[in-house]
Amino acid sequence: MDPVPDNNTQTHTGQKYPGNRAMIAFIILLASFPPFSTDLYLPALPGLADYFHVSADITNLTLILFFVFFGL
């Protein structure tokens, strides 16, 4: 006969939420994304305007929209 399981004991099935180190790494990753992407994107703005035959205002609008949606 099998023993009856005790309902008061808990079994550990793994970590449900990330720990403090994982959360800090995630915040660092999120905080580094806008400077990294703008450093890559800003030098390309004049070339994008020439390639797509649009004004500089339109290409600057893409950068503005990036910051608006990233902020949301």
- Per DSSP, the residues of 11-25 read -----SS--HHHHHH
Q: Which domain holds residue 69?
A: 37-72
pLDDT for the residue 10: 61
- Give domain status of residue 63, yes or no: yes
pLDDT tier at 18 (50, 70, 90 boundaries)? confident
- For residue 53, is it within any domain? yes
Predicted TM-score (pTM) of this structure: 0.52
Domain count along the chain: 1
In a domain, 66, yes or no: yes
User: What pLDDT score does 52 carry?
Assistant: 94
49 domain-assigned: yes
- Give 70's pLDDT tier (boundaries 50, 70, 90): confident
Q: So what's the pLDDT on residue 33?
A: 83
